[in-house]
Structure 1
Amino acid sequence: MSLERINPEELSPATGFSHAVVASGGRLVFLAGQTALDGAGKVVGGTLPEQFEQALANLLAALAGAGGAPADLARVTVYAVDVADYRDCAPELGRIWRRLAGREYPAMAVVGVVRLWDETALVELDGLAVLP
């Protein structure tokens, strides 16, 4: 299995994401949306960075349960109830990402939403990974 991250020079610099990811020779893992739920099913954290960290940890736990690692992520979609807050917190969110998932960035998108399934959730992440 291999993931090739592609960031053409004619596109804006890819900071914290890859413009394209080519996957070959592996098995697909579709990762359900994860919010900042703890093991008891309660949303934890009152700030976007706190919730982002828990949601990302949950996504990575689901990936690990399928036998994968952060570098296997090919695509992640972030759903945020406040995109302006997400942009303001982007440097801190990037530090959280690098600490938990490293510097191999998947193709990513941030989508603004009115609300999430859990009413107190500020952010949700889902993804696609390619495992050997």
Structure 2
Amino acid sequence: MLKIALSAAKFAAVGLLGMAIDFFFTWLCKEKLKINKFIANAIGFSIAVVNNYILNRIWTFSSKNPQVFEQFLYFLGISSIGLALNSTFLYLFHQKLRLNFYFSKLIAIGIVFIWNFSANLLFTFNNGK
């Protein structure tokens, strides 16, 4: 149980860095490049996914799996489901509940964290278990 808690804390730390990367690129695309806010959201999220995979593989889960590309595809698939959930929650909170766009994005990220950690622990970085 302690090992899972430590992994969750590391995953959260990587996620916080990923969130900063996500927010920066979302802001850059939406505010400065004037890209549609939902496309900007997908761009920020995607850049963060690559960063998060590398850091989680090396630091959080210390993966030695030689199938790096296959493992990344699992991570990308789980992250894509996370993106769909993130966008859905973002739409609901921002468009339907009229909450601030960035506050809505923060709430969505928090909810999707649970999905991302659980699915990656069980499927991406399970070390053949």
TM-score normalized by the length of structure 2:
0.36
Structure of higher RCO (CA pairs closer than 8 Å, 6+ residues apart)? 1
Higher strand share: 1
Higher helix share: 2
